[in-house]
Amino acid sequence: METKQLALITGVGKATGIGLEVARQLAGMNYRVIITSRKQETATQLAGILISDGLDVVPIALDVTDEPMVKAVADQINQQYGKLDVLINNATLFPDQYDTTSVELADIRNVFESNFIGSWSTVKHFTLLLRKSEHPRIVNVSSGSGSFGGKGYSLVNPWRDIISAYSISKAALNAFTLKAALDLKPDGILVNAATPGLTATYDTFSDFGSRPVSEGARSIVLAATLPKYGPTGQFFKDGEVIAW
């Protein structure tokens, strides 16, 4: 039976992304990290970057919008490792600027399938594995743009004056975080949301004061490595609780 701390990160899609940097930092803390992408070749290529640095990283194909695939991956991990210690819901469609009345609703559904329903699906199917951990944690990667308060960009202070479907989906993800935290508290599973803030995952973000990806990823890592019996049902940035 696997004894090393095992983390799974969804939506690891590019070398400059938050997901891969979170994997790098957790693997550097002696975690075995499963990184997932929609395509196996993408996961394998990105895992190779970290494996070449001597880190313990496993690539698996996973599309969080495909529920049978989510269940199949959960079964695969159960057979291979027997547990899961950390689930990080990082898969996200971003950005968008859909207009309220001219939008194709199919596009909105795609955003919610990835950013919200997909996270619910992984929690549904991976909870059995998390219950086998001595210290289980779930981190939903959210955004300050889905918050109603706090400093910086939010729903009431939108970035570039745009409230996107992305932002609305993150508000829903925050609400789901509260529900899951309550439902899974008897199992000892910590469920929190974390925002990396505006980070330089895209070159154009540098024009808006973005910070290095390593700093944004650290915010998620701190939520993923909370102590046993630590806080649950909270929204974190850089280890500090922020407003919903």
Q: Which residues are known catalytic residues?
A: 166, 170
What's the Cα-to-Cα distance from 197 to each of 34, 54, 123, 142, 159, rounded to whole Å? 24, 29, 23, 9, 12
Whole-number Å distance between alpha carbons of 214 and 212: 5
> What does the block give as tokens for 216?
């944004």
Instruction: Identify whether the C-beta of residue 159 lies closer than 8 Å to the C-beta of residue 153.
Output: yes
DSSP state of 219: H
Whole-number Å distance between alpha carbons of 175 and 196: 18
Whole-number Å distance between alpha carbons of 206 and 53: 28
Determine the distance from the C-alpha atom of residue 216 to the mean position of all C-alpha atoms in its chain, rounded to a whole number: 12
Task: Count the helices and strands in the chain (H runs, E runs).
Answer: 7, 8
Whole-number Å distance between alpha carbons of 4 and 197: 30
Whole-number Å distance between alpha carbons of 7 and 25: 11
Look-up of token digits 């308060």: 149
Whole-number Å distance between alpha carbons of 167 and 188: 29
